[in-house]
Amino acid sequence: MQDDQWLKIYQELGFWASRGRSDKVVGLAHRLLAMDPEAGFVHRLLGLTYIEEGNRKLANHHLGEALRLMPEDQASHEFIALLNSESLFKRAGDKHAIMALSLDPDSIEAWTALALSAKFDDLKFCLTCVGKVLSRDPDNAVIRLIAGEAVVFAEEGEHWRGAAEGWFRAALTADPNYREAHKELGLLLVKNPQRRGEGLDCLRSALALAPEAADSGDIQRVLRKYTDPVVRFLSAPKAICLGAITKPIQWLEKAPLLVIFFKVYLVVLVISLAGLVLWSLFLWPVRSLYQYYVNSYASLRATAFTWNPKLAILVPPQRWLRQLFWLFLLVAWWFLVGNLLVLPGHFIESYEPADFIIWTGIGAAVCILLLGIGFLIHASRRRKSREKEMKSVAGLSQ
């Protein structure tokens, strides 16, 4: 009677497993193990279910139990090798991959696990494993992505970017809807100013394929970094200062005679470091808060509207926030100009304190002039947009 009940539960377990209901699978598997703790294949199925749920600890435990009960179970060796293959520099899954290969030299999963574990510290061996997989499965997109990631991580040779791009494009040829390949290709190309447009298109494709994925927020941040004017403005000091620090070092490596200008460069270095400190203390928090607001705008407005429709006005549209930012920037620039113009008084004895009022007035006049020009440009654009709308409405009415 107990055997009949066990078989019935096992059949139900297979039914829910085929439909991807991990919650049902976990509950039924534990019932089976309570009736028969030595059922190794149930431990294996439970370990695979925990892998899909992202619970590495329980997956390792149950796969280990499966191997204790079935030491030569190839599937358990392959699963535990893949699960531990990306532990940085530890190679924790290699012994299981080697054991799986001893049972089946053509195991694609085992060769894939070895490639994954080697991609961070052994490019040559990783590409060897990639070749083994491609000789058995020529249309494997995942292994091509692994090869591209390994090339990017190693950065070996002068043409590593082209090699990595080739692997990512080969993965997309094998599977045009492979989201990870779109993402990695986009992250590679977006760093090249001449090909940034292609990279942004790849990132948008990755975002469109799975908008709710865990890394969608990271992709959106990269897209805003290169397209949102406020984020670009707030990131500019960091980019300028880092460029001032790194570029001369690269020149010195190529032309040692430039060392004679090193003393001048030290001054630039100090100024750039001071700029980075300024950016990290003031501009970086503003940029982070702005990005968080843009990310959470829809949910914040919906929450405020749920509490009280009148509270929705407390969550202004993003364009209002941008306009407030530019206005704040103009006011800050006004005070900055005044302080910069009064600075010579600390070094020039003939500099009169009354000059501060004169130069501050000049700075205020320049600010008002720029503000007026900006308003005229804005009004002109609004007028043209309105005329275009009126023409389109007139065309539709005819």
Over residues 279-319, the pLDDT tens digits come to 666 667 777 777 777 777 777 777 776 777 776 677 777 77
Buried-state track 200-219, b at ≥16 Cβ within 10 A, e below 16: bebbebbbeebeeeeeeeeb
Give the residue, 331 or 170, on which the prediction is more confident: 170
pLDDT of residue 154: 83
The CA-based dihedral angle spanning residues 306, 307, 313, 315, taken in that order and rounded to the nearest 10 degrees:
-80
pLDDT of residue 221: 86
d(C-alpha 283, C-alpha 288), whole Å: 9
Q: Is the pLDDT of residue 333 over 70?
A: no
Q: Is the pLDDT of residue 89 over 60?
A: no
pLDDT of residue 347: 44
Pick the range with the lowest mean pLDDT from 10-14, 32-36, 306-310: 10-14
- Cβ–Cβ < 8 Å for 196, 189: yes
Pick the range with the lowest mean pLDDT from 314-318, 323-327, 332-336, 353-357: 353-357
pLDDT in tens, 38-83: 888 888 888 888 887 778 888 888 888 888 888 888 888 888 888 8
Task: Tell me the pTM.
Answer: 0.61
Q: Is the pLDDT of residue 387 over 60?
A: yes
Confidence band for 338, pLDDT divided at 50, 70 and 90: low
Q: For a pLDDT cut of 70, what percent of the chain falls above it?
A: 69
Confidence band for 232, pLDDT divided at 50, 70 and 90: confident
Query: How big is the CA angle at 11 (ends 7 and 17), to the nearest 5 degrees?
Result: 140
**At a CB cut-off of 8 Å and minimum separation 6, what does 72 contact?**
103
**Hey, how many other C-beta atoms are within 10 angstroms of the C-beta on 328?**
11
pLDDT in tens, 126-183: 899 999 999 999 999 999 999 999 998 887 777 888 999 999 999 999 999 999 999 9
* pLDDT, the chain, mean: 76
Give the residue, 258 or 149, on which the prediction is more confident: 149
pLDDT in tens, 100-118: 888 888 888 888 888 888 8
Q: Is the pLDDT of residue 265 over 70?
A: no
The DSSP code for 345 is G
pLDDT of residue 349: 47
Q: Is the pLDDT of residue 186 over 70?
A: yes
Q: Is the pLDDT of residue 251 over 90?
A: no
Please state the domain extents for the chain. Answer: 228-310, 316-383
- Cβ–Cβ < 8 Å for 213, 179: yes
